Chains A and B, each alone.
Chain A
Amino acid sequence: DIQMTQSPSSLSASVGDRVIITCRASQSIGKFLNWYQQKPGKAPRLLIYVASSLQSGVPSRFSGSGSGTDFTLTINYLQPEDFATYYCQNSYNTPFFGGGTKVEIK
């Protein structure tokens, strides 16, 4: 099984900051990597698919990059509604999720 490792597990940031979250796969998954946002008590929301494609309705301040084993989710100009937990997910084969990154208010 391909393991997905996210870092950091949590971070503190201020409104307006740029935030970068990384995800590493234990073996190459090409560009088969998705990113989700989850707020407390809510269902996850798909943000980015196939590493860098923005899901419809997602603000352009979210972007994804990477291929192979190393991927990043970047949030430019962090907004109050962006404080949430973010998960990467392998879509190459068994759709395992990373452990999550909680973005908190500094």
Chain B
Amino acid sequence: QVHLVESGGGVVQPGRSLRLSCVASGFSFSNFAMHWVRQAPGKGLEWVALISFDGSDIKYADAVKGRYTISRDNSKHALYLQMNSLRPEDTAVFYCARDPSNIVSNEMDYWGQGTLVTVSS
């Protein structure tokens, strides 16, 4: 049974950093691409970043490029999102999601429960 569990969210001041984690179980994590998607309170879904199965292909949304870094540790079945220079508009629930392909198909077939990041002074 596929399971994705995010952690690392919380309240952080503008300009500070936060690192989110997503631990996977129930499937061969190293064989699948992964995504981060966020959702601001009361708003729609916004894709944030993707990483291929081996980390060789990485892409970011323009809104986070240069501030966020996606990475993975296949030995730990873990996906990460390092978020720097956080802004109030980064406030959102962050979801990790599995891509059913090893390279990238941009489909998202399993999702975690999300972790809330609040950027506020």
- Which A residues are closer than 8 A to B by beta carbons? 1, 32, 34, 36, 38, 43-46, 49-50, 55, 87, 89-100
Contact = CB atoms under 8 A, between A and B. Distances in A.
B106 A45 contact: no
A96 B47 contact: yes
Interface in B62-117: 62, 95, 97, 105-109, 111-114
A10 B95 CA distance: 24
Contact of B59 (A49, A94, A99, A100): A94
B44 interface: yes
A49 B47 contact: no
Contacts of A43: 95, 111-114
A14 B4 CA distance: 34
Interface string B20-36: 00000000000000010
Given A43-B114, A44-B111, A91 B44 contact: no
A54 to B, nearest CB: 12
B11 interface: no
Interface of B: 35, 37, 44-47, 50, 59, 61-62, 95, 97, 105-109, 111-114
A91 B108 CA distance: 10
Contact of A49 (B35, B37, B97, B107): B107
Nearest to A49: B107
A98 B44 CA distance: 8
B44 A97 contact: yes
B47 A97 contact: yes
Contacts of B106: 32, 34, 89-93, 95
Nearest to A95: B106
B109 A55 contact: yes
B70 to A, nearest CB: 14
A90 B107 CA distance: 9
Contacts of A89: 45, 47, 106, 108
B114 to A, nearest CB: 6
A87 B107 contact: no
A11 B48 CA distance: 28
